[in-house]
Amino acid sequence: MRYELYYWPSIQGRGEFVRLALEEAGADYVDVARLSGRGKGVPALERFLDSRTEERPPFAPPFLKAGELVIGQTANILLYLGPRLGLAPKAEASRLWAHQLQLTVTDFLVEIHDIHHPIAGSLYYRQQKTEARRRAKYFIRDRLPKFIDYFETVLTRNSNGRGYMLGRRLSYVDLSMFQLIAGLRYAFPRTMARVERDIPGLVALHDKVAARPNIAAYLASRRRIPFNQYGIFRHYPELDK
């Protein structure tokens, strides 16, 4: 099946967690809003969001079209794709556990995003800079360590793992950990330089994912959008103290 991913074409954002899964699996997919032509591009994405007839409209991108199905919410897309792409365990208990971790990634991403947008997503960063500085202080002191120490603990306690987050094989959760570490390094290089000593497992996992042939090829390609100041992870030096 050819999957159609709908996400903003100029940022990694939440869509990147889906892109990484599709790329690792070598899946047949199109990144619809990044193409041009009839039925492509951002208008194709907006057609779903603005539709007056779609019975099950997504609230926001990313969403995935898989045949007749339209699936929204990043973690939900990965819940669906995981077993189909060989990136999730088979047993229900383990699948729920993978999804639980992915939902914790989702929570973390909201907090990361809201550092630079603590007041409103509809305002520019410069319009909420004072509040952002204040929020960043608590994020770096309390929240960042809490989340990454948790993920490191999970990795360490996966007693039958070989450095993966769950089980013995790569899952979409590992790909998400790669993306988290990469994004945090981009946004908070000073903080991460200090913090990474405490999370050797996650750092090794990041490197292991980056070295996988399909991921390495993807990262070197033009399909990988560079980090920039429009996504979730943004580098404002004044927030990285």
158 is an interface residue for a second copy by CB under 8 A: yes
Closest separation in Å from C-beta 118 to a second copy: 5
Closest separation in Å from C-beta 124 to a second copy: 13
Residue in 33, 154, 215, 232 binding a second copy, rule: CB under 8 A = 154
**What number of chain residues touch a second copy (CB under 8 A)?**
45
214 is an interface residue for a second copy by CB under 8 A: no
Dig out the tokens for 103 from the structure: 């939902």
d(CA 218, CA 211): 11
Q: Are the C-beta atoms of 13 and 59 separated by less than 8 Å?
A: no
Residue in 1, 37, 59, 222 binding a second copy, rule: CB under 8 A = 59
State the DSSP H helix or E strand holding residue 191, giving kind and residue range, or none if neither: helix 189-195
> Which residue type does 115 have?
I
d(CA 101, CA 78): 12
d(CA 73, CA 223): 22
Closer Cβ to a second copy, 53 or 221, answer by number:
53
* Segment interacting with a second copy, rule: CB under 8 A, options 4-12, 117-125, 175-183, 220-228: 117-125
Closer Cβ to a second copy, 35 or 91, answer by number:
91
Closest separation in Å from C-beta 216 to a second copy: 30
Q: Are the C-beta atoms of 133 and 101 separated by less than 8 Å?
A: no
The candidate with the shortest Cα–Cα distance to 90, out of 171, 163, 153, is: 171
Task: Give Dmax (Cα) for the chain.
Answer: 52
38 is an interface residue for a second copy by CB under 8 A: no
55 is an interface residue for a second copy by CB under 8 A: yes
Handedness of CA 158, 160, 161, 162 (dihedral sign): positive
Closer Cβ to a second copy, 55 or 213, answer by number:
55
Residue in 46, 50, 142, 198 binding a second copy, rule: CB under 8 A = 142
Q: How many CB atoms lie within 10 A of CB 83?
A: 13
Closest separation in Å from C-beta 239 to a second copy: 13
d(CA 5, CA 19): 8
Closest separation in Å from C-beta 15 to a second copy: 16
Closer Cβ to a second copy, 2 or 141, answer by number:
141
Residue 37 CB burial class (10 angstroms; 0-12, 13-18, ≥19): exposed
Q: By the criterion CB under 8 A, which residues form the site for a second copy? A: 53-59, 69, 71-73, 75-76, 79-80, 93, 96-97, 99-100, 103-104, 106-107, 110, 114, 118-120, 122-123, 131, 134-135, 138-139, 142-143, 147, 150, 153-154, 157-159
